[in-house]
Structure 1
Amino acid sequence: MSIFRALLLLLLLVGSQAFAATLSERTYKRLTTIHELMGESKYKEALKRLDELLPRVRKHKYEYATIMQTYGFAYAAQDKYKQAIEAFNEALKTEALPDRVQLSMRYNLAQLYAAVPDWKAAARAYEQWLVATEKPSADSYAFGATIYAQLKQYGKAIPKIKKAISLGKKPRENWYQLLLSMLYQKKQYSEAAQVLETMVAFWPDKKQYWKQLSGVYFTLKKNRKSLAVLELSRKQGFLESERDLMNLVNMYLLQGIPYKAAKILEKEMNAGRIERTGKNLQKLGEAWMRAKETDEALQELQAAAQVQKKGVLYLRLAQLYTDKENWNKVIELANQALSAGGLKNPGDAWLLKGMALYETGKKQGAIAAFGKAMKYNKSKRQASQWLTHVKAEGS
């Protein structure tokens, strides 16, 4: 961890002066040499010198604590965190070092426990440091939040990361990310939306935040806001995958804006960003159908039907041709729908066929078709009415 090498550098810069007044001259000189070795990353030699010095200082609490602290920094600089923890704890146990030094070492301990990782021990060391320090920094609050987030103690972590954010001189993206992830964990979506609103303001080029904001709005049933954010994302070029673009199309359909859905789907198909599959062609045709754009709906549904050969598509085409009063086409498509099968209510196809046969003067055929439609509960009533009408007219 680079943090411990930075702390080691600080020790080397100020340590000699601090120790000079309290260490024996002999210990001071040897420790200065050890610091110089550590400054040159000669840790093996430094540790050897510390081992030689240690028996000479055991009876002197302050010197012993200082040596153990130096052991701790030497081990930490080599990423030997368990040995560093043992050394720092041994130094703290003496209670011989100045309060300021001990306080700093407790924070170092919390960092070491986090590096192992032992998050429970890190939390204990952190709290011991926090209760004694006067003005915790923004970074220290963020560190505490990280510890409690790892322990899944979000009730403790969230206030700390909020404090870090409030104290920070400039917005730190990773702090906002941590806060957001914990709000998701606690299902606090309203607050997550507020955080994401801030994040898209600070980092407007990060497309994932726009997508997340839209998703949170959707979870909160704020569908109009969700759609607005998605549309803004599209205009900024953030919706690149077919999945994202189809999500936008579906949102427009969900909000009852089929014309816009169809226009986007058509544009993205032409651009090659959405594949022209039977399923997508069907969706495009249905969107045009809901938008009352009959000619466009016919074109896309016919293309979809050629690919999928699905009864429901032939049925929808028959319904559209009914609106255009092209009765021969209705008969043809109703037959195709029945032949393809898979209809939830085949009676609908028989009804359309009966109506078309009646309109073309083929009353006996119409009566037979309506008779077929009578067999299905959902179409029975209409079929009965048509039968009554056709038979009455025939008499």
Structure 2
Amino acid sequence: MLGCALVTPGFVRAQDDNAPPRELEERTSQDLDKLQPLLDAKNWDAALALIQGIRSRVEAKSYDMAIASDVEAKLYLQKGELSKAIAPWEQALQLGDAYKFFDQNSQQERVYYLAQLCYQEATESKSPAQQKQNFAKAIKYLERWLAQSKKPPFDPARAEAQMFFANVLYQQGVLNPDKPDMELVKRAGEQIERALRTAVRPKEGSFLILLAVAQQNNDWVKLGEILELLVKQYPGKKDYWSQLVGVYGTLAAQEKDPDKAREYNTRAITAMERAQALGFMKTPKDYYSLFGMYFNVGQFGRATEILHAGLRDGSIEQDLKNWELLASSYQQVDKPFAAIEALMEGTKKFPKSGQLDYSAATIYYSLNKPNEAYKHIKDALVKGNLDKPGGAYGFLAYVAWELGKLEEALAAADKALTFPDAQKDTQLPRLKNAIQDALREREAATKNVAAR
């Protein structure tokens, strides 16, 4: 993150006669002459000991202290002890501000380095109080850098600083996720938009900050706009595609205007199919979601094609409920026989379950084909493993009664009433009574015939 040369500024006479002279004491100069061999040997500990010796004896407000503090900070950077560089660099910066020991450019460099160091301290700290303090310091240094920078608006370094500033503002703003500081989040958004307007080639991280800000604001429309930019700029990153589809799905769910909801669902479909053309979003869950989106926009034909193809080739999970849903989808497009064929195809996948046979029986019954309905409900009961066995036996009772199979109908009604799911059916006891009445009438008629 940081890089700076271990150099010391040359002597320039101070403009203020009351300020400490901007020149090194002779002893300090002699000690600094011993520094270079240590740097060449990368003997950072010995170099630090030398510099700390200088700091221990010179005046607190002297030019020597400013130089020694600056060099000490850079030595800590070389050692990788970044947190220890902050205090000596802050001292060098303060002395430079107070007595003009350093030129504007070098002071700007210190300010930016300090912003980076404080930001890193904040992100690595486990203490919320320390995080807050270091984020605040980083913000202060970046505000100063931007205010004093003479770089033009389109300069890459300025754009980079604005993006960094936006990131720090955002991180500070969401430090407490349960109670984000929306004013800081807003400022982060303003900074990143300013940076994006001036950047020739914006970095991906800039859009991610903008994305995070929009998320905090629950601005789903903005999220969609940003993600559209990201998938255009980085089409090979699958996560952006799934996020884009999710955002359009959320917008559709939130929208009260049916036409607008349909528009967002259509965008979600388009985004998913664009992703699939690139090889992404091809899991069974994704294909099932695509089916659902087509279903939601009323494109039942296309929805059915996707679901049936997926169940056949395995791109949609082999779940019994999915086969039932496929049959329902065919019925939506007025293809009841295709629905029955799909259910029969599904029985090959689930041979031990009678649920699909039961569904086929109900479709046949709705088509006024009681004989076919009777055959399939019998198959369903033989296989078993039904969601509502009582309902299945009750249905058999109705069909058998209609076909004149009264003994079987009565037995089925009695069996149905032993299951909890059928005991709430108020029509079943009436059916049983009707069957019993029919049996008595038939018996009486038989006796009358016999008597003649």
Pairwise TM-score range, normalised by the shorter structure = 0.7 to 0.9
Residue matched to 2:358: 315
Q: Indicate how the Cα distance of structure 1 residues 364 and 278 shifts in structure 2: closer, same or farther if over 3 A, else same.
A: closer
Q: Which amino acid aligns with 1:141?
A: Q
Question: How far 1:29 moved relative to its partner?
Answer: 6.3
Equivalent of residue 332 in structure 1, options 355, 375, 385: 375
Q: How many residues align?
A: 379
CA RMSD in angstroms, aligned pairs only: 3.8
Letter of the 2:52 partner, please give it.
D
Instruction: Please say if residues 135 and 168 of structure 2, whose CA atoms lie closer than 8 Å, have aligned partners that are also in contact.
Output: yes
Q: Does 1:203 align with 2:234?
A: yes
How far off is 1:275 after superposition? 4.1
Q: 1:41 to 1:356 in 2, by over 3 A?
A: farther
Question: In 1, distance between residues paired with 2:389 and 2:216?
Answer: 41
1:232 paired to 2:245 = no
Could you say if the C-alpha distance between residues 71 and 289 of structure 1 is closer, same or farther in structure 2, counting changes exceeding 3 Å? Answer: same
What is the CA distance between 1:137 and its match in structure 2?
A: 1.0
Q: Do residues 246 (structure 1) and 288 (structure 2) align?
A: yes
Distance 2:227 2:389 in 1: 43
Q: Which consecutive residues of structure 2, in runs of 5 or more, have no partner in the other structure?
A: 13-21, 123-130, 152-156, 175-183, 253-263, 446-452
In structure 1, give the amino acid aligned to 2:93: L
User: Which deviates more from structure 2 when the two are superposed, residues 306-315 or residues 321-330?
Assistant: 306-315
Task: Please state if 1:220 is matched with 2:248.
Answer: no
Q: How far has the Cα of 1:325 moved from its partner?
A: 4.7
User: Match of 1:127, as an amino acid?
Assistant: K
1:107 partnered with 2:138: no
Shift of 1:354: 2.8
**Distance 1:82-1:334 versus aligned 2 partners, 3 A rule:** same
- Judging changes above 3 Å, is the alpha-carbon distance between structure 1 residues 125 and 226 closer, same or farther for their aligned structure 2 residues? closer
Distance across 1 between alignment mates of 2:244 and 2:33: 56
Structure 1 counterpart of 2:387: 342
Displacement after TM superposition at 1:68 (Å): 0.4
Residue equivalent to 2:398: 354
Residue identity in the other structure for 1:85:
I
Query: Residues 115 and 141 of structure 2 are in contact (CA less than 8 Å); yes or no, is this contact kept in structure 1?
Result: no
Q: Select 1:98's aligned residue among 94, 97, 102.
A: 102
Structure with a larger share of its residues in helix: 1
Q: TM-score, normalised by structure 2?
A: 0.70
Is 1:126 matched up with 2:126? no
Q: Does 1:285 align with 2:286?
A: no
1:290 Cα deviation (Å)? 3.0
Q: CA deviation at 1:87?
A: 0.6
Q: Partner residue of 2:219?
A: 188
Once the two structures are superposed, residues 344-378 of structure 1 have per-residue CA deviations (whole angstroms, 9 ceiling, x without a partner) of 993x87467535653x4557877998998998668
Q: Which secondary structure state, in structure 2, belongs to the residue aligned with residue 193 of structure 1?
A: helix
Contact 1:123 1:144 in 2 (8 A): no
Tell me if 1:257 matches 2:299: yes
For 1:324 and 1:24, the matched residues in 2 are separated by 104
The 1:260–1:351 alpha-carbon spacing in structure 2 relative to 1, beyond 3 Å, is same
Q: Deviations over 1:261-288 (max 9, x none)?
A: 2322333344443343434433333333
**Distance (whole Å) between structure 1 residues aligned to residue 270 and residue 426 of structure 2:** 39
Residue 39 of structure 2 is aligned to residue 24 of structure 1: no
Cα displacement (A) at 1:239: 1.8
Identity of aligned pairs, percent?
A: 24
Bigger CA drift: 367-376 or 42-51? 367-376
1:129-144 matches, cutoff 5 A: 129-131=142-144, 132-134=147-149, 135=151, 137-144=158-165
Q: Give the Cα separation in 2 of the matches to 1:254 and 1:35.
A: 73
How far residue 84 of structure 1 moved from its aligned partner, in angstroms, is 0.8
Q: Are the counterparts in 1 of residues 142 and 165 from structure 2 also a CA contact under 8 Å?
A: no
Please name the residue that 2:449 is paired with. Answer: none
Instruction: Work out whether residues 330 and 353 of structure 1, in 8 Å CA contact, stay in contact via their aligned partners in 2.
Output: no
Cα distance change on mapping 1:343 and 1:98 into 2, 3 Å:
same
Q: What are the superposed Cα offsets for residues 266-321 of structure 1, whole Å, 9 maximum, x if unpaired?
A: 33344443343434433333333433333442233234456276665343211222
Matches within 5 A, 1:55-70: 55=56, 57-58=58-59, 61-70=62-71
The answer to whether the 8 Å contact 2:266/2:297 transfers is: yes
Q: Which residue is 2:256 aligned to? A: none
Q: Structure 1 CA distance, aligned partners of 2:337 and 2:40?
A: 80
For residue 88 of structure 1, what is the amino acid of its counterpart?
Answer: W
Partners of 1:29 and 1:125 in 2: CA distance = 36
Give the whole-Å Cα distance in 2 for the aligned partners of 1:126 and 1:328.
Answer: 80
| Alpha-carbon distance in structure 1 between the residues aligned to 2:239 and 2:60 | 60
Structure 2 counterpart SS, 1:137:
helix
- Whole-Å Cα distance in 2 between the matches of residues 343 and 328 of structure 1? 22
Relative distance call for 1:59 and 1:302 in structure 2 (3 A) is closer
With 311-320 and 213-222 compared, the bigger mean Cα shift is at 311-320
Aligned equivalents of 1:137 and 1:158: distance in 2? 16
Q: 1:23 to 1:316 in 2, by over 3 A?
A: same
Give distance in 2, aligned partners of 1:317 and 1:244: 28
The structure 1 residue matched to 2:207, chosen from 163, 172, 176, is 176
Query: Is the 2:378–2:396 contact (alpha carbons within 8 Å) kept by the matching residues of 1?
Result: no
Q: Residue 300 in 1 paired to residue 342 in 2? A: yes
Taking structure 1 as the reference length, the TM-score comes to 0.79
Is the CA contact 2:272–2:290 (under 8 Å) kept in the aligned structure 1? Answer: yes
Larger displacement relative to structure 2 (212-221 or 57-66) = 57-66
| Equivalent in 155, 159, 163 of residue 194 of structure 2 | 163
Q: CA deviation at 1:170?
A: 0.3
8 Å Cα contact 1:148-1:154 kept in structure 2: yes
User: Are 1:318 and 1:352, in contact at CA under 8 Å, matched by a contact in 2?
Assistant: no
Counterpart-to-counterpart distance in 2, 1:79 and 1:32: 24
**Cα distance between partner residues in 1 of 2:364 and 2:377:** 10
Residue identity matched to 2:112? Y
CA contact (8 A) 2:121 2:134 kept: no
